[in-house]
């Protein structure tokens, strides 16, 4: 019932982890591989291993989460080696995430992916909000355009981009016009809402150490923004560019709403961190129940069919 065709492959269901959650080490990745997630993605890689920001750097709060991890990861080679091993064991495409600290670093990693035997899809993270002194690339429209233009001079494998949330209709229009120039496989909206601030009510203190408590917000807080971004890009991008919907998926109803806005695959961050990989069983049961109640047999029956008021 939840089968999802993406990248010419039938995934059992549309659910995945969001990059960053439960995917830093091979043991976490192995747990996702055997879970009931339809697919999974690795932590965004930089060319070399990074320790990231000082702890505490991730904090669960009642309506979501705040993080300033600072791109801790085990380095590009670690993830490429894992991906090459895993793809020998399965037909299911793997998702590889890269987040270079500069255009040159992104180009260098993508050149290695292009030259390797990697057969999956690469997600270029243009929206990390947490590296001190490094603005989110995709808030700089010219830099995004230049980066993609340089990448598609040589990159021929499937590529998606992870975007930050936008909050203005003019920005949706401008970013969609840039993305439509390139042979992208997908757009993933949204990364965390950057640089929020959460205050502990008893201690009058921030809850994470880096950047005096400022960090990316995820979870229930971000669903309306995520749905708006999914819808805005679904209605503006050429049909070859699919949408991965990420942000505020806690229940089957949230997943259903992302699909109604036009998402093809769905990623779960904050709530996966709270519940662990068993969440994928619950989300599938809840989404299936909603589809049955509404008389839908497949996701294609309602994907993108959001109603507006005449």
Nearer to ligand RRO, 24 or 228 (CB): 24
Nearer to ligand RRO, 211 or 303 (CB): 211
Among 122, 185, 191, 246, binds ligand RRO (CB under 6 A): 191
Catalytic option among 2, 128, 163, 279: 128
| Beta bridge partner(s), residue 60 | 65
**What are 73's two structure tokens?**
């990861």
Burial class of residue 85, CB neighbours in 10 A (0-12, 13-18, 19+): exposed
* Site for ligand RRO contains 128 (CB under 6 A): yes
Strand extents, DSSP E, the chain: 4-6, 9-11, 15-17, 58-61, 64-67, 95-98, 121-125, 159-163, 186-189, 193-197, 199-200, 205-206, 214-218, 242-246, 265-268
Contacting range for ligand RRO; rule: CB under 6 A; set: 66-74, 144-152, 170-178, 281-289: 66-74
- Touching ligand RRO, residues 288-307 (CB under 6 A): none
* Site for ligand RRO contains 67 (CB under 6 A): yes
Contact between 210 and 66 (Cβ < 8 Å): no
Nearer to ligand RRO, 161 or 279 (CB): 161
* Site for ligand RRO contains 216 (CB under 6 A): yes
Residue 159 makes CB contacts below 8 A (sequence gap 6+) with 110, 121, 122, 123, 124, 151, 184, 185
**What are 157's two structure tokens?**
């494998």
Contacting range for ligand RRO; rule: CB under 6 A; set: 122-130, 225-233, 245-253, 291-299: 122-130
- Touching ligand RRO, residues 79-108 (CB under 6 A): 99
Judged by the rule CB under 6 A, the positions of this chain that interact with ligand RRO are: 20, 44, 67-71, 99, 125, 127-130, 191-192, 216
Active site positions, annotated? 128
Residues making up the annotated binding site for substrate are 43, 67-71, 125, 191-192
């Amino acid at each position: 019932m939840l089968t999802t065709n993406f990248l010419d492959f039938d995934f059992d269901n549309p659910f995945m982890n969001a990059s960053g959650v439960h995917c830093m080490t091979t043991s976490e990745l192995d747990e996702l591989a055997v879970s009931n997630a339809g697919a999974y993605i690795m932590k965004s890689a930089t060319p070399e291993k990074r320790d990231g920001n000082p702890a505490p750097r991730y904090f669960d709060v009642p309506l979501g989460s705040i993080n300033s991890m600072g791109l801790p990861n085990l380095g590009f080679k670690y993830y490429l080696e894992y991906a090459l091993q895993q793809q020998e064991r399965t037909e299911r495409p793997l998702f590889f995430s890269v987040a270079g600290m500069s255009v040159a670093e992104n180009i260098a990693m993508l050149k290695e992916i292009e030259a390797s035997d990697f057969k999956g899809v690469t997600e270029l993270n243009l929206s990390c909000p947490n590296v001190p002194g490094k603005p989110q690339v995709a808030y700089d429209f010219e830099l995004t355009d230049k980066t993609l233009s340089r990448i598609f001079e040589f990159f021929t494998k499937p590529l998606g981009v992870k975007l930050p949330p936008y909050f203005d209709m003019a920005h949706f229009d401008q970013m969609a016009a840039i993305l439509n120039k390139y042979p992208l496989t997908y757009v993933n909206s949204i990364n965390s809402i950057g640089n929020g601030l959460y205050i502990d009510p008893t201690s009058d203190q921030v809850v994470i150490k880096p950047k005096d408590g400022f960090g990316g917000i995820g979870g229930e807080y971000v669903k309306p923004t995520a749905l708006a971004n999914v819808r805005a890009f679904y209605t503006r991008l050429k049909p070859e560019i699919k949408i991965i919907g990420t942000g505020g998926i806690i229940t089957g109803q949230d997943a259903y709403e992302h699909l109604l806005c036009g998402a093809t695959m769905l990623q779960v961050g904050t709530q996966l961190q709270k519940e662990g990989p068993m969440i994928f069983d619950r989300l599938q049961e809840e989404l299936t129940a909603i589809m049955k109640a509404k008389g839908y047999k497949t996701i294609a029956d309602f994907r993108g069919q959001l109603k507006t008021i005449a």
